[in-house]
Amino acid sequence: MKLRIMLLTAAVALLAPGGARTASAQAQPDPDGLAAAVGAIVADSVLPRLGGCDPVYIRTPETPFDSAVAALLRTEPDTRAFGASRPEAYEWVGTRGYTLQGDTASVLVEVGARTPPNGGIDTYIEENRYLFIRAGGGWRFVRREFVRGMDLGPVRG
């Protein structure tokens, strides 16, 4: 009976939302070069769309995987790690972990922009999910999915 309960508990955990393995549950922070694949896609397709404010800041990493991606992005021209002081207007990019389900990896990428405070909306944050599949000993980018956009600021009305 105990074995059956344990098996049912394990099955429910795998099938329930959030049952996928997340970066924090992984033994490896970068399974088979996923960080390199993500860093290449972000460097080739996201960084060129930014640049209204040089440099582009790399979001402070929260996981070992995010740290690996951030290290790759900081090697790109006109990028910099967040420091104690920042200009009034700046842009940033970074990852917020990944999940694995079978041969598919889902990586959350955050892009943001801050403009000088003027009493209205001064910050925009966009989150997109980048999907990769295992291919030829590495990872192949499949598509990007919009997750959400957020406007922030000291708006009073």
Q: What is the pTM of this model?
A: 0.78
Mean pLDDT of the chain: 81
Q: 132: closest CA among 90, 102, 93?
A: 102
Cβ contact 116:122 at 8 Å: yes
Cβ contact 124:99 at 8 Å: no
Confidence of residue 83 (pLDDT cuts 50, 70, 90): confident
pLDDT at 136: 87
Cβ contact 87:12 at 8 Å: no
Q: In the chain, pLDDT over 90 holds for what percent of residues?
A: 60
Cβ contact 70:56 at 8 Å: no
pLDDT at 121: 82
Cβ contact 79:118 at 8 Å: no
Q: List C-alpha distances in Å: 92 to 19, 74, 76, 106, 145.
A: 30, 12, 13, 20, 19
26 pLDDT more than 80: no
Cβ contact 65:95 at 8 Å: yes
